[in-house]
Amino acid sequence: MIGYAYRVRSFQISGGPGWIDSDRHDVLAKPEKQAKGDEILQMVQTLLAERFQLRLHREMQNAPIYALLIGKNGSKLEAAKNESIGGMTISRTLLKATGQTMEQFAVSLSNMLGRPVLDKTGLTGRFDFQTALRLIRAL
C-alpha cells in the first residue's frame, strides 16, 4: 500500500516499524465521494497516516542503477507486429516481450532486479523481443 500510495517500488522503501515486513492487514475502504487518480492516492496516504501512524521521510541516496543502452552496432529490435498493448512472459530460461515500450521494459527489469533501471535507448514505439534469462542474470 505504501508503494501504491506514494508511487514508489518496494526497494525504494526503507525503515518503518518492525512489523512492516511481517504483519498483514486487510484494508476495506470506501471513499465518501467518487474519486480517481491523484485523489485516490491522497486518500490512501491519509488512511496510512491516520490508521497506521505512517510518517513519511523522503531522502535522496546514492545507489547503484542499471541503464538500458543501445549497443555500438545499433538497435536490432523490430517494431511490434500488433499495436495492442502486450505483455511479458518469463520462464526459467527465456524472457519474451510483446508490444512493450522500452520504458515498460525498464520498469519490469527494475522490479525483477530490485534496483532502478533507466531507459536511455531513446527508442520510441512498441517492440516484440525475447532474450535468454542468463543474459539478464549476468547484470
Q: Which long-range contacts (CB under 8 A, 24 or more apart) does 10-15 make?
A: 11/114, 11/115, 15/57
* Residue 84 confidence (pLDDT): 67
How is the chain split into domains, by residue range? 2-52, 66-137
pLDDT, tens digit, 9 for 90 and up, residues 41-62? 999 999 999 988 888 888 888 8
Counting Cα atoms < 13 Å in the Cβ hemisphere of 99 gives 7
Quote the pTM value. 0.66
Q: Cell triple for residue 82?
A: 500488433
Cell 547503484: give the residue. Answer: 64
**Which parts of the chain have pLDDT scores under 70?**
83-84, 134-139
* Residue 138 confidence (pLDDT): 47
Q: Cell triple for residue 30?
A: 470506501
